[in-house]
Amino acid sequence: MRFLPAIAPFFTLASVWTAAALADASASRFGWETYAEFETAATNALIETTPMWDPVFTDAVHRFSQETTDENARRTAVLLEVFCAEQNMIGDVLPASSVLVCEAACSNLIHAATNDPLRWQDVEAASYWVEWQSMNGHPEQAFVRATNLLWSVSGKSWSTPSPAMQTALERFYHLHDVGLLSPEQTFRMDAAGSAILSGNWNAASNLSATLPARLQTYLFELNDETPSALMVATMTDEEFNENASAFVDNGAIFFDAAFTNFLVAASTNGTDYQQVSAKMLLAIGCLEPQIPERSSEFAVLASSALDDIPGSHGLSNLWPSFLLGAGYVSYLCEQRRPEDGYAVATNLLSTFQALGIQEPDSPLWNHAKRHLGMGDATLYETILFATAAAAFDSGRPTAATNLSQSIPARLRELVFEHEWDQ
């Protein structure tokens, strides 16, 4: 899966060694004698992209494509010409030469004999063309083409790019650890992406359901307006944990619109566990200190999560609501409402003990409590801390002392040292 927004000029991922190699290529005026020399220059250009705007470089690529007798080299050079044309175009119309190359690649794949290996250059060019159509106002046409290509390439052998070329392509496309895709995976993702843009959610769901979770995540990241029910409808709790953890690890919990859409859908359409976990992550995402006005959003979400206790959810799925409840107690104290905070906290604590809630074993547990500043505390210790702090803030020092006896020393000190007004 490529998707054209990722092929933007500002993704310039050059390193020192790349810059040095480019300087050597420029010094030779791009006089490539062999495919190896050309591939080195091509991979460097895909990584750094600056040469793609250099008419000397683009003319040399075209000349090389005309003069080389190596068919593999010619096809790679022609594909590179398409990429250069996209970088240099004005508006949203591809040059006719690039259109012909992409159309020819599609035709080659659709009409390839079963025993002929598919060329990776044709796969790249055809995928590029499908995504170009999809992102420039013709997702329905792109969907038809992508599904035809998917049917044509399924089960067929194919040539693969060299490791250096594959790395360069991934950097050029700004892929997120997606790795080398088979033609079938490539066009399945193209078809799903086109279906999303044309509003064909059922088709998108069916197409993406058989993709590995990492590919579903990548597809989702590049389509901020994806109706997340598409993924949630067929997602297991394990896949939810994997996808959510990846977003949280990348800091998306605060700013990523796609992650927010994903969580909103999971909070209403997911399993019991996904619903309460998504609500918790949505609330924690409102705690970004640079956006203080979002604290009211946190309050609404946290208060709503408390309604899930005990609610209709299974006991093993309630830990996110209890963790969020502890965070809500701290919020009330920060808002100079310690009496309310203490009332919520004591009810939370007694309910936790009465229901016999077990400590979480979800991979999201450590992510969530880290964002709430609880370190290595258990869920029970987290609730005790919130209750003790609220007791102290509401003028109940004896209760605070008693409650804090069973929490780690670090947290015990915070009970009596914090000052919410600062």
Q: Which domains does the chain have, with CATH numbers?
A: 1-213 (no CATH), 224-422 (1.25.40)
> In the 8-state DSSP scheme, what is residue 293?
G
The rounded distance, in Å, linking the Cα atoms of 273 and 62 is: 56
Task: Say if CB 308 and CB 318 are below 8 A apart.
Answer: yes
Cα–Cα nearest to 189, from 146, 232, 221: 146
> In the 8-state DSSP scheme, what is residue 177?
S
Kind and range of the H or E run holding 129: helix 120-135
What is the structure's pLDDT at 420? 47
What is the structure's pLDDT at 255? 58
Instruction: Output the six-digit token pair for 132.
Output: 């170009």
The rounded distance, in Å, linking the Cα atoms of 417 and 412 is: 9
Q: Residue 300 to residues 111, 262, 305, 330: CA-CA distances in angstroms?
A: 57, 19, 9, 14
The rounded distance, in Å, linking the Cα atoms of 369 and 320 is: 10
What is the structure's pLDDT at 418? 59
Task: Give the end-to-end CA distance of the chain in Å, rounded to a whole number.
Answer: 49
What is the three-class DSSP state of 118? strand
The rounded distance, in Å, linking the Cα atoms of 12 and 172 is: 8
What is the structure's pLDDT at 244? 78
Q: What is the pLDDT along the chain (422 residues), one digit of tens a residue?
A: 454 433 332 222 223 233 333 334 333 445 787 888 899 999 988 888 888 888 889 899 999 988 888 888 899 999 999 988 888 776 667 788 888 888 888 888 888 655 568 899 999 999 988 988 888 878 888 899 999 999 888 888 888 899 889 888 888 877 666 777 889 999 998 998 888 777 676 677 778 778 877 777 677 665 554 445 555 556 788 878 877 776 676 555 555 666 776 777 778 777 888 888 888 888 887 776 555 666 777 888 888 778 778 766 778 888 888 988 998 898 888 888 999 999 999 999 999 989 888 888 888 888 787 777 777 888 999 999 999 999 999 999 999 999 988 888 888 888 887 554 43
Report whether the peptide linkage leading into residue 310 is cis, meaning its omega lies within 30 degrees of zero: yes
What is the structure's pLDDT at 362? 82
What is the structure's pLDDT at 229? 52
Which distant-in-sequence residues (6+ apart) come within 8 Å of 267 by Cβ? 274, 275, 278, 279, 282
What is the structure's pLDDT at 6? 35
Half-sphere exposure of 95 (CA within 13 A, CB side): 13
Angle at 206 between CA 202 and CA 209, to 5 degrees: 130
Which distant-in-sequence residues (6+ apart) come within 8 Å of 101 by Cβ? 78, 79, 81, 82, 125
What is the structure's pLDDT at 346? 93
Cα–Cα nearest to 120, from 182, 213, 167: 182
What DSSP line would sit under 229-289, residue for residue? HHHHTT--HHHHHHHHHHHHHTTHHHH-HHHHHHHHHHHHHS-HHHHHHHHHHHHHGGG-T
The rounded distance, in Å, linking the Cα atoms of 49 and 42 is: 10
What is the structure's pLDDT at 257? 63
What DSSP line would sit under 45-107, residue for residue? HHHH-GGGG-HHHHHHHHHHHHH---HHHHHHHHHHHHHHHHHH-STT---HHHHHHHHHHHH
The rounded distance, in Å, linking the Cα atoms of 209 and 40 is: 38
In this prediction the pTM is 0.52
What is the structure's pLDDT at 90? 62
What is the three-class DSSP state of 158? strand
| Cβ neighbours, 10 Å, residue 165 | 18
Task: Say if CB 197 and CB 135 are below 8 A apart.
Answer: yes
Where does 285-378 have alpha helices with state H? 295-306, 319-334, 338-355, 364-371
Which distant-in-sequence residues (6+ apart) come within 8 Å of 417 by Cβ? none
Where does 138-200 have alpha helices with state H? 139-153, 163-173, 183-197
| Cβ neighbours, 10 Å, residue 222 | 22
φ, ψ (nearest 5 deg) of residue 118: -75, 140
